[in-house]
Amino acid sequence: MQYSIKSGLFTIGVALSIGGCRNIDQPQVVRVTAQGDSGTWQISVNAKNFDSAVSDSAFAPAMKRLHLHQGDLILSGTRIYRADIRFEKTCDWLLRYCNSNHVALYYYDNIAKEAIFRTPVYHWTAPFGNPRSISGASFYCEGQFLGKGTNGFQVMLQQIKTKRPKSIFLLGSLHDLYQNFGPGESPYEDQKQLLEDTLNQSGTMLIELDPLPIF
């Protein structure tokens, strides 16, 4: 089962336990959604503390403390171009931040906001200049390392078979959109049939998104 969405993305991150040190080799999956009625952002990092929230004014400083970089990604349930006017400057700042730090930014609105925080995120990192390289790719679930290259891809498939989640996000690190690459590039292009077979066997719906073009 595959559900491929071709929409742009925007999201936000906040440090739940702000001030703690991160493992620079562990990519971070940051989920964010704006709570327009309260002027706050609901956030989580690597599926933890999904009920945490910060004020709009505290958002940028908290994001900076996450030290996001290429390999990290943000998933948002808030439309960046239709956000409440009170969040406009914050959204503009976030786009600039992701651009300068090469952070992938994703947006998905065809799902309840609560599900964005609870649906598992499987993700991969690949070289900024070569997103098609399976040998240079690493695979993760919510920031937890699964393996490198073809072996890592197989471990990811096996975990999906074992856990049989109802649905998953499968997202990738940002790559150089100035080169001859499309927005939906992946290092497992030649193994997509294996992915499809795994999804069918486990009864899992795949939610694929294209990253927002932030350049």
Helices (H), ranges, 15-87: 56-64
User: Average pLDDT of 134-153?
Assistant: 97
Q: Which residues contact 85 (CB under 8 A, 6 or more apart)?
A: none
User: Does 154 score more than 60 pLDDT?
Assistant: yes
Which three-class secondary structure state does DSSP give residue 196? helix
Average pLDDT, stretch 125-149?
Answer: 95
pLDDT at 173 over 90: yes
Asked if residues 170 and 123 have their Cβ atoms less than 8 Å apart, the reply is yes
* % of the chain residues with pLDDT over 70: 81
**Res 17: pLDDT:** 41
* pTM for the predicted model, two decimal places: 0.85
Confidence of residue 177 (pLDDT cuts 50, 70, 90): confident
Would you state the structure tokens that stand for residue 138, as one six-digit string?
A: 């690493």
pLDDT value at position 80? 65
Q: What is the mean pLDDT of residues 38-56?
A: 84
* Residue 211 dihedral angles phi and psi, to the nearest 5°: -70, 150
Q: What is the mean pLDDT of residues 189-195?
A: 95
Q: How many CB atoms lie within 10 A of CB 136?
A: 15
211 to 56, 65, 85, 141, 165: CA distances (angstroms) = 24, 23, 23, 18, 23
pLDDT at residue 68, rounded to an integer: 96
pLDDT in tens, 49-62: 766 788 999 999 98
| 66 contacts 55 by C-beta, under 8 angstroms | no
Name the helix (H) or strand (E) containing 6: none
Average pLDDT score over residue span 65-81: 86
pLDDT in tens, 75-133: 988 776 555 677 888 888 888 999 999 999 998 876 666 678 889 999 999 999 999 99
The predicted model gives 12-27 an average pLDDT of 50
Report the length, in residues, of the chain: 215
- The count of other CB atoms within 10 Å of the CB of residue 104 is 28
pLDDT band at 23 (very low <50, low <70, confident <90, very high): low
d(CA 155, CA 13): 28
Q: Between these two residues, 203 and 78, which has the higher pLDDT value?
A: 203
Q: What is the pLDDT of residue 2?
A: 44
Euclidean distance between CA atoms 5 and 13, whole angstroms: 22
Summarize the confidence of residues 27-51 as an average pLDDT.
85
pLDDT band at 48 (very low <50, low <70, confident <90, very high): confident
